[in-house]
Structure 1
């Protein structure tokens, strides 16, 4: 069997604080999360038997995302309300251009705010 394409995913975590603006619930108060971030790349398997090197994916995401958000007050980092939905769009934008010239593309970004709540952005959801 030959696979048409394969998805690989690397998982990260970071700790940040925020408070939601224009929100009537308890999250309008300053609070923190240990976020879980899943980054999925899709492509054809190369001669090496890999779609993309996990260590390079780790380096890209750490430099472009984790280093910007870990142990930060997100309201000071972003010029938008730091909801999971807004953050997942920002994260996708930070990573998306890093795969030019590679036989793969950024397929999806999933940001877990709690163990039971996440926002996800897939390439098919993006207008190009």
Structure 2
């Protein structure tokens, strides 16, 4: 049986700021992110299996990405916990804001790396993460491919 790739698209709104950056993105701002998640595997051939013919149920993939990424990052503000932004984060939290402190500069490149690890850890046996595309603006995106990462 041949391998098949499946892709599911997700949208979420997230704010961030890049500490130490020399451009506009050093200021707190937000993006309407679009995330394309592509997995690869062989369709189920067991005729007694309820998901016969599927690589993975789109609903199962949605559940994984929603729990690991969308529910956490949507309408949150992301800061690198290893910068003075942590003080701003604490103040925002006190005022009831949803703030995520991460161990990296919250660029699209680092976010897509983080997302790849979170998603890979939750995929069922026989299903592999093939690629991620995280679109930050209409014209800018970061991509992660399993084939590029050994």
Given the two structures, how large is their TM-score scaled by the length of structure 2?
A: 0.78
Corresponding residue number in structure 1 for 2:18: 20
Unaligned regions of 5+ residues in structure 1, if any? none
Q: CA deviation at 1:121?
A: 0.7
| Equivalent residue number for residue 71 of structure 2 | 67
Tell me the secondary structure at the aligned position of residue 62 of structure 2: helix
After TM superposition, where is structure 1 displaced by more than 6 Å over at least 4 residues in a row?
none
Q: How does 1:25-44 map to 2 (within 5 A)?
A: 25-44=23-42
Q: Name 1:46's counterpart in structure 2.
A: 44
Aligned-partner SS, 1:41: strand
TM-score, reference length from structure 1: 0.90
Distance 1:57 1:100, change over 3 A: closer
CA RMSD of aligned residues (A): 1.3
Give the unaligned 5+ runs of structure 2: 46-51, 80-98
Equivalent pairs, count: 124
Show the counterpart of 1:57: 61
